[in-house]
A and B are shown apart, each in its own frame.
Chain A
């Protein structure tokens, strides 16, 4: 407009509730079309990879192109089982929250491939610094579901003694750093952990996790600066699920083409990958892991996915996006895509899938029943009030001891 006045710009998503979902503006490259560079490639030569999408599974379910062929039938079946387990786990825990058995829950619907496939690219001893939507890291590492549920219920068997909001798990043994609940703070900690591993001459690497929305936090910037400066053996994961609660990804992304492109200014190789494609996620993660392990430094990976469910049990997406939007998402559903691929490979069938679904549901329900014998948030046994005062410091100082006495415990 040429009226001489300045105009203030606020980005808007393409469609709001009531409108027809439209992802035609999201370019989806053909599966297999993006090259697989050597791990020691000069980042300047692969700038295109920050603007494309690495995909392995095509529309008919075949694995194609240079990123395909890394996983056996058995590994893929295991991956499918992990994603199905996570989905069943989510459904049960979502329901448990609705039944008043806990205060809060966050599900992964539509994003199961990201953490499940990534976990299988790591080695024992590596450390993830997850957000609240990477429980797939635990499921895929065979962390006991009962323990997860005990944490969700804040019951007497909760390993965190009822101190943390549901799903803020912690397991050093399973390479899962304690979730803060504050966003982005742990991205730079992942870099620091990786720096420490390099300082110590170790072989372990770290992985930081962040969502599209919280890349806007300054900790994202400091993480990229430190990772770039010290060539830290870290993988910087950005899960772009299109929505930060009610805020579409354009508010955090601004004028830059993609979140992956943020890495380019730091000289960090940056790749975009189809986050709903188990094989693509795993292949790209493997590539980044190999780089980190070989002292080639950090890699930034943007997983293009879609949050099919609500942000949390406290959120109602119908207030800010069309209800049918998730059905219109052009990258499909990660479970169905891997299922179809396995059927095409002759390693799976619709019948076996249904059978597996039933088995998994039984396993999850059995775990839930076991967890509930230890109590739920509002009934049964729970961590003691005395526990509340423990563990602030290694040794309890006098003032906390006095307060515990005042509390009568």
Chain B
């Protein structure tokens, strides 16, 4: 089976979708001729022409606003916001318009739209190239929120997102684009070509939205993670020797609650990990759900490991990032509690 980086897998997902469905159009800043600053759309304009893949003005509200109009017309736009940190000008369009169009028009108009954006830190991007804003979208009814953690899922989930009848926020952990980064920033990253989840089938396949995946089967404790933190959790589990279940949520909204509940009921302990800031982060929702659904199975308080409640710093990146040492401490404390 061919091996692909996450960038190649994402590009392949759009390529396959554009090839199968001429309603799929791709645009955004630097997306057309150049192929995107992370090269996710490289070659698509040459292959499908300027009407299917094109450059946009630097206007995120314009990109998403225009895409909503296109989706209402009947196209399937898959647009790129260059960094998740730049999505805020489009927030009104996403929250007030894309998310509510089906509901408020009682299905008269719909919005099958994908907004792709690189998310997360670990690249010395400072506060404007490192944020993880997923909780700002999981709070909005009408949206779906997806965070893939590997090339195989990135392709399958992106195809599913493009084919979904409702708007999908597709957050791509940029630190994973070239390999499964585990938080050990001082070590070389294994390339996807050497990782089994770098195996990505050719052609069309989709990975269903709303379904989590178990990355490690264990009985002692449940780690709930997504994106980059899946590999940080794997490293922490390996280094602490704790026999943990690691659940890769993949889709945050709608959440695969059944998978979460089944795992926590099995282990009786739960650590929630994300890179985004702690307060009102998605971990709060997860912790609340675990408490509501698994309280009588819990042996210890649900722990959260997250980014500190500061803006994402530049020089102190690795003090900020919830790496394997911090996650490992939480695992040990939860086992000892």
Contact = CB atoms under 8 A, between A and B. Distances in A.
B102 interface: yes
B287 interface: no
Contacts of B100: 180
B96 A196 contact: no
A197 B93 contact: no
Main secondary structure, interface of A, reads helix
B142 A392 contact: yes
B257 A172 contact: no
A177 B166 contact: no
A223 B65 contact: yes
B57 A189 contact: no
A392 B69 contact: no
B178 to A, nearest CB: 33
A177 B72 contact: yes
Interface in A182-224: 182, 185-200, 206, 218-219, 221-223
B280 interface: no
B65 A163 contact: no
Interface in B161-197: 165-166
Given A180-B97, A182-B92, A200-B75, A195 B66 contact: yes
A392 B257 contact: no
A35 to B, nearest CB: 33
Contacts of B51: 198-199
B141 interface: yes
A170 interface: yes
A391 B102 contact: yes
Contact of A195 (B69, B101, B102, B141): B69
A9 interface: no
Contacts of A226: 56-57, 59, 62, 66
A265 to B, nearest CB: 14
A188 B66 contact: yes
B204 interface: no
B104 A170 contact: yes
A394 interface: yes
Interface stretch (B107-115, B147-155, B220-228, B306-314): B107-115
Given A182-B92, A189-B69, A199-B51, A170 B61 contact: no
Contact of B142 (A177, A187, A219, A393): A393
Interface string A160-187: 1101100010111000011010100111
A197 B257 CA distance: 40
A229 to B, nearest CB: 6
A398 interface: yes
A380 to B, nearest CB: 20
Nearest to B164: A394
A195 B255 CA distance: 34
Contact of A188 (B61, B73, B109, B254): B61
Nearest to A172: B108
Given A189-B69, A391-B102, A178 B108 contact: yes
A191 B57 CA distance: 14
A341 B90 CA distance: 47
B210 interface: yes
Interface in A386-401: 391-394, 397-400
Interface residues of B, number: 44
Contacts of A177: 72, 109
Contact of B96 (A185, A193, A198, A206): A185
Interface string B43-68: 00000000110001101011001111
A223 B62 contact: yes
Contact of A222 (B52, B61, B70, B166): B61
B103 interface: yes
B257 A398 contact: yes
A195 B254 contact: no
Nearest to A192: B69
B316 interface: no
Contact of B69 (A160, A170, A182, A196): A196
Contacts of B109: 170, 172, 177-178
A400 B141 CA distance: 9
B80 to A, nearest CB: 15
A171 B166 CA distance: 19
A222 B92 contact: no
A206 B100 CA distance: 21
A2 B132 CA distance: 51
Contact of B72 (A159, A185, A189, A400): A189
Contacts of A127: 73
B106 A160 contact: yes
B19 interface: no
A406 B60 CA distance: 38
A185 B97 contact: yes
A392 B51 CA distance: 31
Contacts of A196: 25, 69-70, 73-75
B69 A194 contact: yes
B210 A159 contact: no
A13 to B, nearest CB: 29
Of B62, B100, B255, most buried by chain A (CB within 10 Å of CB) is B62
A193 B61 CA distance: 15
A193 B104 contact: no
A80 B92 CA distance: 39
A391 B62 contact: no
A14 B157 CA distance: 59
Contacts of A189: 65-66, 68-69, 72, 97
Contact of A170 (B66, B105, B144): B105
Nearest to A204: B73
A225 interface: yes
Contacts of B241: none
A160 B70 contact: no
B203 interface: no
B65 A185 contact: yes
Residue among A177, A186, A188, A225 with max Cβ neighbours from chain B (10 Å): A188
Given A187-B65, A189-B69, A222-B62, 15 more contacts: A159-B108, A160-B106, A178-B104, A180-B96, A185-B96, A189-B72, A191-B65, A191-B66, A192-B67, A194-B69, A196-B70, A196-B73, A200-B74, A219-B65, A397-B254
19 contacts: A159-B108, A161-B106, A168-B104, A170-B104, A170-B105, A170-B108, A170-B109, A188-B61, A189-B68, A189-B72, A196-B73, A218-B89, A222-B57, A223-B65, A225-B59, A391-B102, A391-B103, A393-B144, A400-B141
Interface of B: 25, 51-52, 56-57, 59, 61-62, 65-70, 72-75, 89, 92-93, 96-97, 100-110, 141-142, 144, 165-166, 210, 254-255, 257-258
Nearest 8 interchain pairs by C-beta: A192-B69, A192-B66, A222-B62, A188-B65, A178-B105, A397-B254, A189-B69, A196-B73
